[in-house]
Structure 1
């Protein structure tokens, strides 16, 4: 009897998994909360996991070029995180508003929000492209890159920033899909993007047939091409596919009121992530003081960390969608319960991963480099950051839940306190002033995330996010 029950349970889990991957459910305002968390989290986790796999594969190929190439990727992506700040800020607004309209059963309102966020993304990406194309060497110089690094890697920076529209639109359109409960579509488009990146990376980096070896610049060409094709697929789905939101040519109209509402909600999100990413840029600048080998170890460690941090982001995004839809359906208690359950699942996952990283960090770093300085500093970074993983889990879920409710102001304040007032001064004091070196930066990252979790949970319990209107 027990065997039959276990078999039935496994079959039910598999059936739910396949339904989640296929996107069989869009409305999560009724039924089991556990099932809702599962149905939304699975495609989002797979989506983020694919992004993490690409990041790891990318750094494996780039690390075969040179240490300067790895450091170039680290410096450029630190700057690109400022693009991500805008993209994620707008994405949070798109998810919150589309999820709210979906909960209200206002399909037309959800469609209008989708069109306006795409307009905004294209405009902002164009401005960033101009700067990236014209000033790649100056950007790397400002980040502390040495002359030989700049000469070898400026093409990577130029291509990646010049083609940032692919990143921007990939983020924004997937945010629309998630808000509408179509997390599986977001997953498949990212799988397409990153699958192409993985195939194209070695071709453009090392050359193949008539295609010359572009070195580290080839990684940027592969990334931009893969993401560009995925954006085309997203647009096809929006116009001709089977998503909850389907856009027609008549819908491509500038709607000032809808756009202003998006901007109002996204401003908090943009500043929220701008604070976090600006802090990340300054940390990278501090790390550059210790040389290319230490910087390469730090960059590799962050890539490895993202492998497990991305699935946690997937669960956090699931919480945001659940909060938005349930608030739209006037079910604030269900929204709150969804957050605590998602946080618990995320903490269990992150806790298990932290143990693996703490014990096996040197082994993981050894897969990417045989340089002892790179391995030593990268392993230490991974171990220190993993020590706070359970706090990361609750912090990410709670912060994304505020954003899902349209309350982007609260996380902005929390980020300002934890990153600008604590993390940066602590990192500089420990790493430079007190001469603790790179580990001063590593501990500043962990302790800041612990502080975010503590403040976020306290603020969330007050419940003011339940009354936010978007």
Structure 2
């Protein structure tokens, strides 16, 4: 099924640029929503900002579940496209959406019912816990409208189209950015919903994205089948998809879960430190956009070329991506060193919160190339059907380095040492995983040549 979006023939650097650049703008739009929410909620007070910070690991975990389901679907579909099996691609696309709907409905109901115990486990107490619960109840209602578009967009990217997913991400973000301050503070006949307004803005944007993504998937890409699968076919498809999606989802959840643990560690230093950590990590997520875009681009490239038995193109794609991560970390570090005070000042006027957030932004950025290598390598291995290896990359980075070194630094009774622990974890894990990913693929290629 060769098309103008065939990723097995054009030069690798051109494919990466074509898929990465649109996603840069899309991811900027999506992450700007988090920053906008943080900015406007911060105007309500430090307790509101802390409540949003406690909710962040939970929302990231659920979002990562959705990303994992999308990764599983895109991995299977991209390899079917690479091997020129159009009917299998349609069947897997349809079954993956059905699976996503089933899973997220269960998660949404469970999360809504146990929102307070969940936030309490992270260290939220008193008024901060009450505010966090008010925000999260609305957010859990929006979960089904979050997950289905994320899976649909992953499917669209798997066939080599990054433009429409990016456009939908931008449109959703614009709706969210306009609606959030109105719903938080009120305007005209619209009442002020306080912190719940941020969640309502997200819900509104996601409902619109749901219909847009499904329309493109059906009418433009023609990736959905309206023939009901037999029970045996559906079970076989779900089993195949889950073999990739479960470890991929677990891998995507490792990072926010580790952030949740580190948030609890940071809470040892007080609510202001939690607020600072929340502001800094949101800015950091915004700052690593090129690496996130690369991770979304390497997936379709790796999946299609694996299906076409072109391993060298995957190796070349990883090498280019790793160098881009290193160069970007240098640029980012220099930029935030000088602009950090102005950026942090836009989110808080509390001197202690600002000082701690600025400290994070001057320690971590030079090391983020290591984190970039981890997410790019994991995305590539997920897409070639080696999702357990991708999960292993995240576990190595988080369980062996990120959490232990953060805890070790915190034991010195200064939060800066915890930040230094995070930086060391990024560097060590990046070197180890970058080397292993290239070694493994070269080994596979050598075996294929021998055979």
Q: Answer whether contact 1:395 1:454 (CA < 8 A) is retained.
A: no
Cα distance change, pair 103–299 in 1 and its aligned pair in 2 (3 A): same
Q: Name which of structure 1's ranges 191-200 and 113-122 shifts more when overlaid on structure 2.
A: 113-122
Q: Distance in 2 between matches of 1:415 and 1:38?
A: 25
Q: Name which of structure 1's ranges 345-354 and 206-215 shifts more when overlaid on structure 2.
A: 345-354
Cα distance change, pair 395–375 in 1 and its aligned pair in 2 (3 A): same
Match of 1:169 among 148, 161, 174: 148
**Does 2:413 align with 1:435?**
yes
The residue that corresponds to 2:253 in the other structure is: 274
Q: Distance in 1 between matches of 2:35 and 2:359?
A: 18
Q: Answer whether contact 1:51 1:310 (CA < 8 A) is retained.
A: no
The C-alpha deviation readout for 1:229-280, integer Å capped at 9, x for no partner, is 101111122222x12x432432577622111111011222122223322211
Match of 2:173 among 194, 204, 219: 194
Q: Name which of structure 1's ranges 266-275 and 32-41 shifts more when overlaid on structure 2.
A: 266-275
Structure 1, unmatched stretches of 5+, are 1-23
Which TM-score applies when normalising by structure 2? 0.92
The residue that corresponds to 1:463 in the other structure is: 440
Q: Distance in 2 between matches of 1:144 and 1:35?
A: 47
Give 1:187 deviation, angstroms.
0.7
Q: Distance in 2 between matches of 1:253 and 1:193?
A: 35
5 Å matches for 1:354-373?
354-373=333-352
The residue that corresponds to 1:43 in the other structure is: 22
Cα distance change, pair 165–253 in 1 and its aligned pair in 2 (3 A): farther
Q: Answer whether contact 2:377 2:390 (CA < 8 A) is retained.
A: no
Task: Tell me the secondary structure at the aligned position of residue 250 of structure 1.
Answer: coil
Q: Name which of structure 1's ranges 410-419 and 257-266 shifts more when overlaid on structure 2.
A: 410-419
The C-alpha deviation readout for 1:177-221, integer Å capped at 9, x for no partner, is 111112112111111211110011011101122221011111001
**Does 2:284 align with 1:305?**
yes
Q: Answer whether contact 1:54 1:198 (CA < 8 A) is retained.
A: yes
Q: Distance in 2 between matches of 1:264 and 1:204?
A: 41
Task: Tell me the secondary structure at the aligned position of residue 46 of structure 1.
Answer: helix
The residue that corresponds to 2:136 in the other structure is: 157
**Does 2:73 align with 1:97?**
no
Cα distance change, pair 96–246 in 1 and its aligned pair in 2 (3 A): closer
Q: Distance in 1 between matches of 2:256 and 2:39?
A: 24
**Does 2:221 align with 1:250?**
no
Structure 2, unmatched stretches of 5+, are none
Match of 1:337 among 316, 337, 360: 316
Q: How many correspondences in the alignment?
A: 441
